[in-house]
Amino acid sequence: MAQSDVDVDVVVVGAGFAGMYLLHELRKTGFSHRVLEAGDDVGGTWYWNRYPGARCDIATTDYQYSWDPELHEQWQWSEKHAAQPEILRYAQFVAKKHDLYSGIEFNTRVDGAQWNEVAKRWSIHTSTGETITCQHYVMATGCLSVPKEPDIAGTEKFTGNVYVTGRWPHEGVDFTGKRVAVIGTGSSGIQSIPHIAEQAKELVIFQRTPNFSMPAFNGPAPQDRVERLAADRVAYQHEARYSGTGVPLEDSTVSALSVTQEEAFAMLEKAWQKGELLSLGNTFMDSAINRKANDVVAEFMRMKVRSVVKDPEVAELLSPYKHGYGTKRPCMDTGYFETFNKSHVRLVDLNASPIRSITETGIDFGKESMEFDAIVYATGFDAMTGAIVNANITGKNGVTLKNKWEHGPLTYLGLTSVGFPNLYMITGPGSPSVLSNMMVSIEQHVDWIRDTLVYMREQGFETIEPTPLAEEGWRVHCTDCADITIFQEANSWYMGANVPGKPRVMFPYIGGVGRYRMACEEVVNKGFLGFELASSTKKQCNDGLVREVQPDVDMVLDFISTLNLPAMETMTPTEARAFSEASSAMRPSGPEVGEISDGVLPGADGELQYRLYRPATPGPHPIAVYFHGGGWVFGSHTSDDPLCRDLCAQSNTLIVSVNYRHAPEAPFPAAAEDGFAALKWVHANAGALGGIADHIAVAGWSAGGNVAAVTAQMSRDNGGPQISGQLLLCPVTDGSQQHASHKENGERFILTKSLMEWFWNHYATPEQRKSPQASPLLAASLAGLPPTMLVTCQFDPLRDEGNAYARALMQAGVKVEHVEARGHIHTSITMVDMLPSGAPHRREMARALRGFFS
């Protein structure tokens, strides 16, 4: 270890809002510390970003500290969206009030840090030549603090004035009479361009990607927020902390696809008039997850551009088409689009006329060369990871964070990383950070770090480090969250796409501020789940995963739990049927198919209704005889309508959904016999139905999966009809209900252990359950059954009996494709157009169905 000049408990890098608050808390809790800051004042991002027009896009009611209630009385904001000088003054005011200046070393950079595994301490090397050792090392370096290196040829040649928005001269810049080029139209460009246009003689804006921007309509803080905050500050802040974005907003429950465009535009206009960054994205519940829903918002925004910009060609160039609204950080402006109506302002579309080179005197682009007095680079940042990996951090076994993160940042909770004990990142990658009100996220991280340090001190632990399992689980969860959105389609800095060579992953956590906070709380409440805490004499490690259920499924479960619905097993079958029908009526209908028609077919004991879903392509088609879910007690030929449509459309298969008889009126073996009768009838009438007789499969979900599996066995045992495959989604296969998943997943996941018992009690006696026609897993042999696609869900009570059936089929020599749907529950894959995370599994099911007939 390098010779240490001083040893402290904690070293903090950065004196922006995160470092300032942490300093305050370290003093309060009595940890010795050093706080190092590269700049010569507090303020972080608001210290560096002094370009004209720089403003915060989050309203002042929300973008302020909550930890010192006196501040709310002592500091009055002048505007709804504060400008950079005012925010910097606020930071200085807080620093003076709490004597923070005395605890910060300015003009001090950190050149590198190494973990010493023997001493269990970090060695921090500073630009002043000092080496500090410490137990805990905190990077409070901000998410957007390292400007991106200009990746444009010839930048070094230009002899005029060069400005970078993120490193603006403190004394300001006067562009009067100057020919100015601005490269970049993100938030920084969009905010600064109108101001530069006011002064410049000539202004040329080089645009690679047009961005969505709405006017800030700046003025006094919104009255409703001011009043709510004044009425009950604590409640307001609590709401912010558990909200989606760190600003109290009611989540929309309206789908953009459920209203006409006129209605949608009226709703968006209302949101627009608010002049709040989050209002447009929050108008519809599905604009972040559904491309078509997003298009509604995007078109509204394009309409707004057309209404302002006089030249239709320029308006078109300023209108984003290639990315969805919100998938790149949307902007707020004051007069941005109006600027393009000025005669001395020109827009250059770099897609049509790329920059060939910056020259000594200007810019060569397309077929032109232009001379400039000044070039402004508003080209963005090496976001989220730049400041952390550039700080030369070396953890255990000489591994650097830069190397570890070569293929994307790996963190647990965005706070810590395996191999780097006692290293903490405030608003690091894998935390909501830039997708949230930073003030709320900063305070949460500082509180978490403070409480963790206090806990370790009280318990006598020297080190804390996440486990590989927990870190990988968090990576998977972050990816799951991103996967259900359309964010990954955009070449945004959220995805690392703005920096050449940066790995393409979703850097911030997109699961929401409140859900993230709850995950952090759960980790602590479960004895620091996923962390190893250690000292020379003891160790504590409750290894495990904090968020395993798919994020959209989790949201549905949370929503359902707020409804306080009665348990179905407390109802009579008639009540349960009515309840099930009422719930189904609220679902999205599923995709269009060629034709839907209803009919009747002869069952084992009387007529059965069926619904036929015909693909839009010319027939004849292969057929799947489908059996619905509902525990043999409820459901019908129409109750799995969205799933049947989806299967039909995606697999190009004709689906015949059969309404078999239900228990308790028609108990075992009625459903099984009806299933087999329906198969025989469909086979015999395949041609008339528009299908192919020797291309028939059976399919079903839940109890319907049971009926399908039993039907396959009956056709094998009774000389046909020959079937090409069976598609079993979460099937019931074993009436013993002794599998571990019944207990493990017996509560909270919609299908509960007690509801399953209720189903069985209505359908079959304990003795009857031993029959393979009730429990297909108990068949003497499974040999000779058709190729099988079997899907089981991780949080389904029926998971293990489904898994057992898949294994038994394989052992019997049956060709089986077994999908174990991670993070899913019994019902989630059937929830078409509601739960995006189920879509890939439905695609797999459709592919398998097609494959049965090839």
The residues binding ligand NAP (CB under 6 A) are 55-57, 144, 151-152, 165, 183-189, 191, 208-209, 329, 350, 378-381, 434, 493, 498
Report the nearest approach of ligand NAP to the CB of residue 143 (Å).
8
437 vs 745, which CB is nearer to ligand NAP? 437
Closest CB to ligand NAP among residues 151, 575: 151
Choice between 381 and 634, CB closer to ligand NAP: 381
Q: In terms of CB distance, is 20 or 499 closer to ligand NAP?
A: 499
3-state DSSP call for residue 468? Answer: helix
Instruction: Select 55 or 621, whichever has its Cβ closest to ligand NAP.
Output: 55
Which lies closer to ligand NAP via its Cβ, residue 381 or residue 701? 381
CB of 105 to ligand NAP, least distance (A): 27
Of the pair 150, 620, the CB lying nearest ligand NAP is at 150
| Residue 187: closest CA among 492, 596, 549, 615 | 492
- Measure the N-to-C terminal CA separation of the chain; round to a whole number of Å: 66
Kindly tell me which of 77 and 610 has the beta carbon lying closer to ligand NAP.
77
Question: What residue spans of 278-437 are helical by DSSP H?
Answer: 291-308, 312-317, 336-339, 386-389, 401-404
CB of 354 to ligand NAP, least distance (A): 8
Q: Which residue has the tokens 């052992």?
A: 811
Say how far apart CA 376 and CA 816 lie, in whole Å: 61
Q: How far is the CB of 500 from ligand NAP (least distance, A)?
A: 9
Residues 735-739: contacts with CB under 8 Å, at least 24 apart? 735/760, 735/764, 735/766, 735/768, 735/769, 735/770, 735/774, 735/775, 736/769, 736/775, 739/799, 739/800, 739/801, 739/804
Cβ atoms of 603 and 674 closer than 8 Å? yes
How near is the Cβ of 206 to ligand NAP at its closest, in Å? 6
Please state whether beta strands 345-349 and 531-534 pair in parallel, antiparallel, or not at all (unpaired).
unpaired
Catalogue the long-range contacts made by 501-504 (C-beta closer than 8 Å, 24 or more residues apart): 502/382, 502/385, 503/406, 503/407, 503/408
Position of minimal CB gap to ligand NAP: 186
Q: What's the alpha-carbon Rg for the chain, to the nearest Å?
A: 31
Q: How far is the CB of 163 from ligand NAP (least distance, A)?
A: 13
C-alpha–C-alpha distance, residues 789 and 347, integer Å: 56
Nearer of residues 359 and 638 to ligand NAP, judged by Cβ? 359
Shortest Cβ distance from residue 434 to ligand NAP (Å)? 6
Least CB distance to ligand NAP at residue 687 (A)? 57
- Grouping H, G, I as helix, E, B as strand and the rest as coil, residue 416 is strand
* Least distance from ligand NAP to the Cβ atom of residue 190, Å: 7
Nearer to ligand NAP, 213 or 726 (CB): 213
Report the relative pairing of strands 355-358 and 121-126 from DSSP bridges: unpaired
* Residues shown for the chain: 854
Q: Which is nearer to ligand NAP, 147 or 473 (CB)?
A: 147
- The residue among 346, 369, 365 whose CA lies nearest residue 355 is 365
Q: Which of 503, 499, 384, 429 is nearest to 144 (CA)?
A: 384
DSSP of 264-317 = HHHHHHHHHHHT-TTTTTTSSTTTTT-HHHHHHHHHHHHHHHHHH-SSHHHHHH
DSSP one-letter string for 508-576: S--S-HHHHHHHHHHHHHTTSTTEEEE-SS-EEE----S--S-HHHHHHHHHHHHHTPPPGGGS-HHHH
In angstroms, give the least distance from the CB of 336 to ligand NAP.
12
- Residue pair 631/576 in contact (Cβ under 8 Å)? The answer is no
| CA-wise closest residue to 193 among 340, 315, 382, 79 | 340
- Minimum distance between the CB of residue 367 and ligand NAP, rounded to whole angstroms? 18
Closer to ligand NAP by Cβ: residue 222 or 705: 222
**Residue 439 near residue 21 (C-beta atoms within 8 A):** no
**Residue that the structure tokens 């405030």 belong to:** 426
Beta bridge mates, 357: 364
> Closer to ligand NAP at the Cβ: 280 or 568?
280
Burial class (CB in 10 A: 0-12, 13-18, 19+), 27: middle
Which one-letter DSSP state was computed for residue 253?
-
From the CB of 298, what's the least distance to ligand NAP, in Å? 15
Instruction: Give 191 or 580: the residue with its C-beta nearer to ligand NAP.
Output: 191
Q: SS3 of 171, please?
A: coil
CB atoms within 10 A of CB 504: 12
Pairwise CA distance, residues 344 & 401, whole Å: 48
**Shortest distance (Å) from residue 142 CB to ligand NAP:** 10
Which stretches within 631-747 are classed as H helix?
A: 641-651, 670-684, 686-689, 703-717, 740-744
Nearer to ligand NAP, 329 or 611 (CB): 329
Q: Which is nearer to ligand NAP, 124 or 152 (CB)?
A: 152
Q: Taking the complex as a whole, how short is the minimal distance between the CB of residue 81 and ligand NAP, in angstroms?
A: 8
Q: How far is the CB of 229 from ligand NAP (least distance, A)?
A: 20
| 273 phi, psi to nearest 5 deg | -65, -25
Burial 234-260 (b: 16+ CB within 10 A, else e): eebbebbbbbbbbbbbeebeebbeeee
**Residue 372 CB, nearest distance to ligand NAP (Å)?**
15
